[in-house]
Amino acid sequence: MAADGRQEGFTGLEAALVLVAFVVVAGIFSFTVLGSGFFTTQKAQKTIVTGVDQSTSTLHVVGDVYGISDGNGHIDEFWFTLGTAAAGKGVDLSALAVTASSADALYTLRPADPLASPPAGPGEWCIHAKTGDGASPLFLSGGEQGTIIARLPAGAGLAAGQRVTIEAVPPIGAPVAISRQIPPVTSAVTVLT
């Protein structure tokens, strides 16, 4: 008992209020933890789905890469074939970005107009031929292949010994980098290694 005759201590009502406060705080905390867990799970699922989409729409080089001579002993045009995985998703070639680079320069090649009608002009790229569905010449479905012609700008031909890197970047999926060296002896059409 206190000196003035009052009793000090917890009553049942006060204990119940403290207990209710703890329950409310624990409920809010658990709701927050569960909510962030569901959010993280949803983000992880979205990341996995995006990764699968990108991996199934990946392009790859099929066969050899050819260099076409400009008539002056330099290579200024490149022919290569891109393919998709047999069970993969298609790739829209009209949204493809193509660049060519050497040790001295980087060229961003623009799509020819029309894109599926060669030849490519200086500084352009085009689709020369495509296997499979002829009704959609700008779209590579699963298992199809398309031959691309990439031409450097006028006067930018590469001499023997120089290395060229051509990069084709699809709208979805990994870019394809093709790096080849111009051989010491070239002809009108040269297989690049």
Domains, in order of start, for the chain: 59-192 (2.60.40)
What is the pTM assigned to this prediction? 0.68
- Model confidence band, residue 109 (pLDDT cutoffs 50, 70, 90): very high
pLDDT at 10 over 70: no
β-pairing, 106-111 vs 139-140, is unpaired
CA dist list (Å): 156 to 37, 108, 123, 177: 56, 13, 9, 20
Q: Could you read off the pLDDT of 110-136 as tens digits, one per residue?
A: 998 888 877 888 989 998 888 877 777
Average pLDDT, the chain: 81
The DSSP symbol for 48 reads: H
Cα 35 to Cα 15: distance, rounded to the nearest angstrom: 30
103 by DSSP, 3-state: which?
Answer: coil
Nearest to 98 by CA among 84, 85, 80: 80
119 preceded by cis ω (within 30°)? yes
Phi, psi of 192 (to 5 degrees): -95, 135
